[in-house]
């Protein structure tokens, strides 16, 4: 039998019920709905309930995938979780999710690539399917950003939200599924978007526990400039090396960080607005969660064989693009 491709065969998303609207934020920091909407495109974002952790998101995502695909927990070989907000620094949320869902034959790990976490994880999962090692790999991208956001910092609290999703990867023998990927990183960008305290460089102490270093720090304009250029460059690169014209691309699933970054990417690709998947207005930036949340929401609109391009940029810096053919 010829070598399989890795195809997405089920998608499941999850967002918590709690909503934090722009109007709510107006009462918390010096901002307003008009500024947030015009600068980012965000109207509201979801917030985890007290005690709700990344593995709780993951459990709902995995259970949804198993149900949709009609398969048993013991059939899953591997769970890769793109996240920067796991339940613990260790063990991995993958371990916790496997335990909560009864995935007794699966192993896995968490992968830290911020907003590109889902793309990085999808590429790794793809390789395990393509080389024949595994038949069923779950790839999750999700974040509980509210656990690391300072709700007194208007530069960051207006952007981020909680949520995520996951996909099941299985072998495909009709050439459908993941066709190509370009993944990039530049660690020199780390100073512009990071959580300064809590790692081995600066562990949490009594003295620093109350400082802002425990929260996400972002130099917005610098990140914005790099995001606009790199996300567009990589999406255009993947089109060119696969000989895809704008007409050939059916959908673009861009990381939802800022509507202006999404528009810039789509314009560089020459895509009609109707092909761009956008839900930033209701979920904000869920870091590793944005792209699987888009796939989940658009699943009913996809047709077998549709050419879909995924693209992301985020902390690290990390960025990349994946080209896939929808398989169902």
Residue in 12, 40, 179, 230 binding ligand UT7, rule: CB under 6 A = 40
Cβ-in-10-Å burial (0-12, 13-18, 19+) of 299 comes to middle
- Contact flag: residue 115 with ligand UT7 (CB under 6 A): yes
Does the active-site annotation cover 255? Answer: yes
Nearer to ligand UT7, 11 or 115 (CB): 115
Q: Is 115 known to be catalytic?
A: yes
Q: Is residue 261 at the binding interface for ligand UT7, with CB under 6 A as the rule? A: yes
d(Cα 250, Cα 59) in Å, to the nearest integer? 31
Note if 208 is an active site residue. Answer: no
> How many residues can be counted in the chain?
328
Cβ 296 vs Cβ 151: under 8 Å: no
Q: If binding is defined by CB under 6 A, does position 319 make contact with ligand UT7?
A: no
- Please check whether residue 286 is in contact with residue 44, taking contact to mean a CB–CB distance below 8 angstroms: no
Q: Please give the C-alpha separations between residue 320 and each of 43, 67, 155, 185, 238, in angstroms, as whole numbers.
A: 27, 31, 25, 8, 9
Query: 318, 287, 223: which is closest to 261 by C-alpha?
Result: 223
Give whole-number Cα distances, 239 to 250, 309, 322, in Å: 12, 8, 10
In this complex, which beta carbon is closest to ligand UT7, that of residue 217 or of residue 323? Answer: 217
Binder of ligand UT7 out of 31, 37, 112, 214 (CB under 6 A): 31
106: closest CA among 69, 83, 80? Answer: 80
Among the listed ranges 57-65, 122-130, 254-262, 274-282, the one in contact with ligand UT7 (CB under 6 A) is: 254-262
Contact status: 148 vs ligand UT7 (CB under 6 A): no
Instruction: Tell me the CA end-to-end span of the chain in Å, nearest whole number.
Output: 21
Considering the candidates 98, 101, 255, 307, report the single residue annotated as catalytic. 255
Active-site option among 22, 115, 172, 226: 115
150 binds ligand UT7 (CB under 6 A): no
285 binds ligand UT7 (CB under 6 A): yes
Q: Which stretch binds ligand UT7 (CB under 6 A): 124-132, 151-159, 243-251, 302-310?
A: 151-159
Catalytic residues: 115, 255, 285
Residues that bind ligand UT7 (CB under 6 A): 31, 35, 39-40, 115, 154-155, 158-159, 220-221, 223-224, 227, 257-258, 261, 285, 314
């Amino acid at each position: 039998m010829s070598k399989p491709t890795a195809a997405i065969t089920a998608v499941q998303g999850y967002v918590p019920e709690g909503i934090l609207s722009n109007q709510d934020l107006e009462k918390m920091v010096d901002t307003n709905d008009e500024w947030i909407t015009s600068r980012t495109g965000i109207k509201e974002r979801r917030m985890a309930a007290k005690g709700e952790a990344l593995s709780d998101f993951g459990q709902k995502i995995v259970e949804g995938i198993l149900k949709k695909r009609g398969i048993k927990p013991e059939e899953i070989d591997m769970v890769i979780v793109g996240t920067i907000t796991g339940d613990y620094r260790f063990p991995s949320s993958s371990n916790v999710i496997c335990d909560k869902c009864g995935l007794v034959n699966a192993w896995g790990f968490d992968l830290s690539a911020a907003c590109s976490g889902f793309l990085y994880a999808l590429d790794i999962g793809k390789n395990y399917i393509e080389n024949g090692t595994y038949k069923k790999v779950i790839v999750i991208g999700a974040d509980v950003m509210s656990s690391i956001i300072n709700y007194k910092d208007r530069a960051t609290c207006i952007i981020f939200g909680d949520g995520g999703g996951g996909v099941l990867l299985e072998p495909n023998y009709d050439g459908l599924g993941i066709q190509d990927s370009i993944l990039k990183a530049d660690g020199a960008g780390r100073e512009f978007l990071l959580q300064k305290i809590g790692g081995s460089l600066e562990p949490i102490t009594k003295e620093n526990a109350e400082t802002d270093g425990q929260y996400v720090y972002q130099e917005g304009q610098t990140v914005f400039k790099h995001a606009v250029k790199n996300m567009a460059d990589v999406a255009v690169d993947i089109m060119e090396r696969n000989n895809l014209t704008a007409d050939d691309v059916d959908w673009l699933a861009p990381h939802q960080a800022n509507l202006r970054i999404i528009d810039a990417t789509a314009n560089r690709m020459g895509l009609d607005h109707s092909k761009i998947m956008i839900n930033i207005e209701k979920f904000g930036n869920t870091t590793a969660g944005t792209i699987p949340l888009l796939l989940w929401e658009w699943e009913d609109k996809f047709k077998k064989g549709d050419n879909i391009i995924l693209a992301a940029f985020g902390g690290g810096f990390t960025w990349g693009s994946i080209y896939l053919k929808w398989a169902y």
